[in-house]
Structure 1
Amino acid sequence: MTQPKTGAETGAAPAHAPRASLQRLVSCIRMDEVCVLQGAPVIGACFAMADFSAATLLTIAALVAGNLCLVAHVFVVNDWAGIHGDLQDPRRASQTYVARGENAARMGRLAWALLALALLIFGLVSPASFFIASTIAVLSAVYSFPGIHGKGVPVLNSLLHVSGGTLHFLLGYAALAPISPHGAAIGCYFGLVFAAGHLTHETRDHDGDLHNGIRTNAVAFGKKTSFFASLFLFSAAYGWLTVLALLGFVPLVLSMAAVLYVIHLRAAWMALRDDLTYPAVRRLQTVYRNIHVVIGLAMLATVAPW
């Protein structure tokens, strides 16, 4: 009996090939980082939330879905635009989309598809959320796109992160309430933290960025300057949140930021003592990320109308 020929023998693609191809493409999205960045807009929605009605919960569900697509778009654009440098960095090369078998054209189409889906969802949430999401996408393009490449322009890259972090909080706030000075003041805390965290990231990646000719703040001004600028912005964020708590803009329990700041300072001193090596800065990042997870959970626990 003649055996049936396989897809490889006939030249036809296996039936599961399109699905496998899509799965491979989606696997190139940095989902761990995408999920981490869901916090700010959800917290923003909680600050604006008046009740737990079905309409409110549906809006928050749409907010999360839209933000997943929007943040995924931001990371895909960043990876698409920075592929040449990433391939030359031993710490990043194995994690690139090229290493996973993808190409720039398909990543570009994925980025556009994610943006279109995100804007469609936010268009259904509220006009303000749609406008903010569009603005975040523009900031992402300024940061990543070849020719503009704000990532490699010192100071500008930090301003983009301050703006993006603040808008990310307001993205959630605007889903449930008009933007107010009160909401914008709270959003500034997130902008400061986001920019400070990225300056630490630049400090950590100084050697790779220098090798690839990316003129980050750390490359332009030195690792220690970038590190101390990051610490200054973190200090401003802790101080600002404490002031907001004492003024009654946020729950008083959030004044604990002043205590957590001491833990951050100790971790920063240890990183500096170890000459800001890659592992030392990674340990610092773990400490301050955990601190801000605690602050975020405290916000969720005390702000939402449980």
Structure 2
Amino acid sequence: SGIDGDLNNPRRASGTFAARGLTRTEIGCLALSLLALSLLLFGLVGQNTLLLGLAIAGLSALYSAPPVHLKGAPLFSSALHLAGGALHFLLGYATFTAIDARGLAISCFFGLVFTAGHFTHETRDHESDDLNGIRTNAVAFGKRQSFFAGLALFTVAYALLVALALLGLVPLVLVLAAALYPLHVLASLRALREGLTYESLIRLQGQYRTFFAIIGLLMLAAALLA
């Protein structure tokens, strides 16, 4: 889904499967095969992981698959990312322990980050989505509005993570995430000053992905040292 739009986008056309000689049928068969294998493995882990895997697959289908294609439905597309981000975390969480209030609270952080990144991504792709008739949040409400919505959700995500750390629901070391937030804001303001160009937003995405990679490493280190 979306291959026609990608082929119309000079920045993406050369990287598509169609440009590399693969057909939609071949890619579709590969995707379904990998889905079946993934669900089989999730089923071997447990019932909860299988159900979560099915839920994630369902959300992906709602977002991308025709004729539903909620990628082009403002706000609904973001709601799918919010739910999907939370479910991805819970999929890993359920592998090791039963889902509880703590797990649900932590999953909200990941859902917020996914959704904030989605708003930024849509801001970046505003021109190509508009050209292809895809009514994303940025197309429907404007680039600046989508950009600020993403920054607002990132802000809530940082605040939530610090709150979870102070409440003892995640390791206390994660309060250090607060030190990354000003850097995130500065990087965002730089992109804003540059007019939210494609290049400035690509750079911003690389920067905040680095910030969250650092947070992920802190989480991993805390888990290993616990």
Same fold per TM (> 0.5)?
A: yes
Equivalent residue for 2:2, pick from 82, 102, 116: 82
Q: Normalized against structure 2, the TM-score is what? A: 0.99
Secondary structure of 1:99's counterpart equals helix
Bigger Rg, which one? 1
Partner AA of 2:25 in structure 1: A
Across the aligned residues of Structure 1 and Structure 2, the Cα RMSD in angstroms comes to 0.8
Q: Which residue of 2 aligns with 1:31?
A: none
Q: How does 1:1-306 map to 2 (within 5 A)?
A: 81-304=1-224
What is the rounded CA distance, in whole Å, between the counterparts of 1:161 and 1:304 in structure 2?
Answer: 29
Deviations 1:95-121 (A, max 9, x none): 111000000111111111011000000
Secondary structure of 2:18's counterpart equals coil
Query: 4+ residue runs of structure 1 moved beyond 4 angstroms?
Result: none
Deviation at 1:258, TM superposition (A): 1.4
What is the rounded CA distance, in whole Å, between the counterparts of 2:177 and 2:126 in structure 1?
Answer: 29
Deviation at 1:305, TM superposition (A): 5.4
Partner AA of 1:145 in structure 2: A
Deviations 1:218-257 (A, max 9, x none): 0000000000000010000000001001111111110112
What is the rounded CA distance, in whole Å, between the counterparts of 1:142 and 1:218 in structure 2?
Answer: 19
What is the rounded CA distance, in whole Å, between the counterparts of 2:225 and 2:97 in structure 1?
Answer: 15
Q: For structure 1, which runs of at least 5 residues remain unmatched after alignment?
A: 1-80
Q: Normalized against structure 1, the TM-score is what? A: 0.73
Secondary structure of 1:304's counterpart equals helix
Partner AA of 1:138 in structure 2: G
What is the rounded CA distance, in whole Å, between the counterparts of 1:278 and 1:143 in structure 2?
Answer: 23
Deviations 1:49-105 (A, max 9, x none): xxxxxxxxxxxxxxxxxxxxxxxxxxxxxxxx1111111000110011100000011
What is the rounded CA distance, in whole Å, between the counterparts of 1:305 and 1:145 in structure 2?
Answer: 42
Deviation at 1:304, TM superposition (A): 3.4
What is the rounded CA distance, in whole Å, between the counterparts of 1:168 and 1:130 in structure 2?
Answer: 12
What is the rounded CA distance, in whole Å, between the counterparts of 2:224 and 2:43 in structure 1?
Answer: 24
Secondary structure of 2:19's counterpart equals coil
Partner AA of 2:132 in structure 1: N
